[in-house]
Amino acid sequence: MFVVNRWIGICFILAGVIIGSFNYVEWRVGRSAAKEMTKDEIKQYKEGDEQVQAKFPESNIIEQKPSSQVHHIQGEKVAMLVVPTVGQKFSVYWGADQKVLKKGVGMYISPFTTTPNGGGHTVLSGHRDTVFYRLDELKENEILKLEYAGSLFTYKIKKIWITDPQDRTVIVEKEAPTLTITTCYPFNYVGNAPKRYIIEADLLYKKESGKTVLKGNINWGYNGTSAS
């Protein structure tokens, strides 16, 4: 009986080691999506921001294209989120289910949201303990950048707040080009965090082929990969 109990104990220990190793590998995969930027990269991304005014004329009519009508492969890397303030950039993948979020930052697919060049509400989500562990360092009026489809979109943080997971006012359709980032809260919580941390930012300008286009002058005729 002693020998049997001993082997049972060893099996439990091995199972714990295997499960722990698997969770660690998943954590490392998610954390690897957050890249530290060099000083030269940070300087490069900040160039030109000082010359751009805080307010721009609104565009007249925006022809939005929902992300649900865009052709990307689930889990495909589609964008790069750049946060100069903390010196980090993040790979962004298509979709926001648990499988995608294990890889890094996910871009929501829905009838209410768009890609950055879709002219509407772009929503990104990521885990606080892998990619977004420094998200709470950001402040209002700071800059976020999103590379997508050969263009660089620059946003200014409008507001930051904490809400419940059931809040249905976060992922909604918006008339103006907007970037929203969501993660769980509190950041140091062990287990499934009970709240959500939300950052909302307004588009300032778009840069494509070396040319800067102010928000009010952007032609939002959709030029991405869309459904026919």
Residue 5 lies in a domain: no
Which parts of the chain sit beneath pLDDT 50? 15-30, 53-57, 59-61, 222-228
Residue 72 lies in a domain: yes
CA distance 174 to 151: 21
Coarse DSSP helix, strand, coil percentages of the chain, rounded to the nearest 5 percent: 25, 35, 40
Residue 93 lies in a domain: yes
User: Please, which residues have CB within 8 angstroms of residue 143's CB and are 6 or more apart in sequence?
Assistant: 46, 49, 84, 85, 154, 155, 156, 157, 204
Domain encompassing residue 92: 32-217
pTM metric for this prediction: 0.78
CA distance 8 to 96: 40
Q: Which two tokens stand for residue 216?
A: 């009010």
CA distance 182 to 188: 16
DSSP state of 132: -
User: Please, which residues have CB within 8 angstroms of residue 116's CB and are 6 or more apart in sequence?
Assistant: 79, 122, 146, 148, 149, 151, 153, 177, 179
Predicted confidence at residue 208, as pLDDT, reads 81
Predicted confidence at residue 165, as pLDDT, reads 93
Catalytic residue among 11, 71, 121, 184: 184
For every residue of 14-53, which 3-state class applies, written as one string?
HHHHHHHHHHHHHHHHHHCCEEECCHHHHHHHHCCHHHCC
Which phi and psi angles does 173 have, rounded to 5°? -70, 140
Q: What is the CATH number of the domain that holds 56?
A: 2.40.260.10
Residue 127 annotated among the catalytic residues of the structure? yes
Which whole-number Å values give the CA distances from 77 to 104, 106, 107, in the listed order?
A: 10, 9, 10
Residue 11 annotated among the catalytic residues of the structure? no
Residue 70 lies in a domain: yes
Q: How many domains does the chain have?
A: 1
Residue 25 lies in a domain: no
Residue 2 lies in a domain: no
User: Please, which residues have CB within 8 angstroms of residue 169's CB and are 6 or more apart in sequence?
Assistant: none
Residue 24 lies in a domain: no
Residue 163 lies in a domain: yes
pLDDT tens digits along 2-55: 555 555 555 556 544 444 443 444 444 445 567 786 877 777 776 666 555 444
Q: Which two tokens stand for residue 67?
A: 């992300």
Which whole-number Å values give the CA distances from 42 to 39, 60, 82, 145, 222, in the listed order?
A: 5, 33, 9, 11, 30
